[in-house]
Amino acid sequence: MAPLVTNNIISSDMNLFFALLIGIAFGFVLEASGFSSSRKLAGMFYGYDTTVLKVFFTAAITAMLGTLFMSLFGWLDLNVIYINSLYLDSTIFGGIVMGIGFIMGGFCPGTAFCAISIGKIDAMVFAIGLFVGVFLFVEFYDYISVLHNANYMGEIKLSDFLGLKDGFVCLIIVCVAFIMFYLGDLAEAKFPLKNK
């Protein structure tokens, strides 16, 4: 959420209440967009349905541009926004594992719980695997902690990492998004799903 608690605009309890409402709305939008279907989600990797790419790129661009413009107008102080610490090696490795899990299971954690809420059994099995994975990560952490903590880069933004201005990075990402939307449309035309 925005740094409303930090600036004493709302209380911590009200912050949690708003987080609950936003979470419910997010789940509703996921379900309404068809993201509770593993076929639709796996379609991203097979090329017959690139809705996932389009929706999440659109969401990222909207959040990114909204944050940038609010910062430029002085409505938002970027210094009080929490940024996850970057551990480059484990981020790359985790992304590969997540991608493999996504294509094998047809879900990511968020869409799995969205599908569970409407009774999808495959999502329940996926979630069991998710919890087993978390358990194994904790149990074997001592053995993988070197990888987990490797190449620590601090709380760094993409613009800092690339050594570019925030606005220029936003422009690049918007251009990349439009290219990806175009390639997505080409993929859907080339690999149509026969039994939609």
pLDDT tens digits for range 76-112: 888 878 888 999 999 999 999 888 888 888 888 888 9
Q: Which of 25, 53, 35 is nearest to 118 (CA)?
A: 35
Task: Render pLDDT for 19-40 as a digit per residue (tens, 0 to 9).
Answer: 899 988 988 888 888 888 888 8
Beta carbons of 124 and 64 less than 8 angstroms apart: no
DSSP classification of residue 27: H
pLDDT at 82: 82
Through-space distance between the first and last CA atoms of the chain, rounded to whole angstroms: 37
Q: What is the pTM of this model?
A: 0.74
| E strand intervals along 13-65 | none
pLDDT of residue 134: 92
| Rounded-to-integer distance, Cα 57 and Cα 178, Å | 9
pLDDT band at 194 (very low <50, low <70, confident <90, very high): low
Mean pLDDT computed over every residue of the chain:
87
Alpha-carbon distance 87 to 71, whole Å? Answer: 26
Exposure string for 88-127, b = 16+ CB within 10 A, e = fewer: eebeeeeeeeeeebbeebbbbeebbbbbbeeebeebeebb
Q: Is the pLDDT of residue 3 over 70?
A: no
Lowest mean pLDDT among 73-82, 133-142, 162-171: 73-82
CB atoms within 10 A of CB 2: 16
